[in-house]
Amino acid sequence: MAYSDKVLSHYEHPRNVGTLDKSSESVGTGLVGAPECGDVMRLQIRVNPETQVIEDAKFKTFGCGSAIASSSLATEWVKGKTVSEALTISNTDIVKELALPPVKIHCSVLAEDAIRAAIGDWKKKNGVAEEAGVAVAASA
């Protein structure tokens, strides 16, 4: 199975590889894994507290080319978006952009999970309720 040009481009020249300060109030860290293939992915965002815009994003992924490309693309996409805009990114967008074959769809799922986990961590640090929590509270 051949990788698409876009996967190769992200795999050979991954964008935004690196680390943000995990202990910073404005940084959210998501660490997720796909046990089926042993992949592990860390995605971090730095959020402007005033505007809730994601000003920086970094990732580090141990896994196959598609997992690396999916997380690289995810960091590119979240940058410049507000937290709530970033939550609208879904794995199918990543599948389309990278032309991932069916066997690699779980890599895009992992990248979406990583975005959600990073935003969830940032919300927890900053006392912003996750929407599920709000929904439960509202229906209670």
Partner 1 sequence: MGGDEQSDYFTIFSMPARLVIDLPALEKSFYALSRRLHPDRFAARPADEQAAALAESSRLNDAYRTLKDPIARTAYLLKLEGVEMEEQSSSATAAARATGSSKKQIVPEDLLEEAFELNMQLEEMRMAKQMGEDDPQLRKDLLAAKSSFDAKMAAAQAELEALWTRWDAALDADDATAKAAARDAMVALLNRRSYLRNLVRDVNDALEA
x/- mask, partner 1, residues 15-54, rule CB under 8 A, reads ---------------xxxxxxxxx-x-x------------
8 binds partner 1 (CB under 8 A): no
57 binds partner 1 (CB under 8 A): no
Report the nearest approach of partner 1 to the CB of residue 31 (Å): 5
113 binds partner 1 (CB under 8 A): yes
**CB-nearer residue toward partner 1: 46 or 106:** 106
**In this structure, what is the dihedral angle of CA atoms 18, 73, 92, 63, given to the nearest 10 degrees?**
-50
109 binds partner 1 (CB under 8 A): yes
Burial 10-21 (b: 16+ CB within 10 A, else e): bbeebbbeeebe
Active-site residue flag, 37: yes
* Tokens of residue 138, six digits: 């509202």
Active-site residue flag, 64: no
In the range 66-85, which residues lie near partner 1 by CB under 8 A? none
Binding site for partner 1 (CB under 8 A): 30-38, 40, 42, 60, 62, 87, 90-91, 105-106, 109, 112-113, 116-117, 119-121, 130-133, 135
Catalytic sites, residue numbers: 37, 107
